[in-house]
Amino acid sequence: MRPRRRRRVRRGIAVGGLVVATALGGGTAWALDRFVIEHVEIADVSAHEEEQATAADSSDASVETTSDTTNEATTDTTSGAGPQVTVTSGTVGTGDDAATYYVADVVLSDITQLRAAFADDAFGENIIELPSVIADQVGASLAINGDYYGFRDTGIVIRNGVAYRDDGAREGLAINADGTLELYDETTTTADDLVADGVWQTLSFGPGLVDDGEVVTGIDDVEIDTNVGNHSIQGDQPRTAIGMVSANHLLLVVVDGRSDESAGVTMTELAELMQDLGATEAYNLDGGGSSTMISDGTLVNDPLGRGTERGTSDILYIG
Distance in angstroms (rounded) separating the CA atoms of residues 164 and 151: 15
pLDDT of 298 = 97
Residue 169, in any domain of the structure: yes
For residues 222 and 82, what is the distance between their CA atoms, to the nearest angstrom? 38
Nearest Cα neighbor of 146 from 316, 13, 301 is 316
Give pLDDT tens digits for 13-26. 344 444 444 444 55
Share of the chain above pLDDT 90, in %: 73
Domain membership of residue 1 (yes or no) is: no
Nearest to 37 by CA among 13, 17, 18: 13
Residue 7's pLDDT band (cuts 50, 70, 90):
very low
Threshold 0.75, pTM exceeds: yes
Q: Is residue 276 within a helix (H) or strand (E), and if so which, with residue range?
A: helix 267-276
> How do beta strands 293-295 and 298-299 pair?
antiparallel
Yes or no: say if 318 and 86 are a contact pair by the CB < 8 Å rule: no
217: in domain = yes
Res. 72: pLDDT tops 50: no
Of 136, 155, 132, 144, whose CA–CA distance to 250 is shortest? 144
User: Could you tell me if residue 8 is inside a domain?
Assistant: no
Is 69 part of any domain?
A: no
Residue 299, classed as helix, strand or coil, is: strand
Burial pattern 265-300, b for ≥16 Cβ within 10 A else e, equals: bbbebbbbbbbebebbbbbbbbbbbbbbbbbeeebb
* Domains in the chain, number: 1
DSSP assigned state of 296: T
Give the structural domain span for 259.
14-64+84-318
Q: What are phi and psi of 235, to 5 degrees?
A: 80, -170
List pLDDT tens digits, range 184-218: 999 999 999 999 999 999 999 999 999 999 999 99
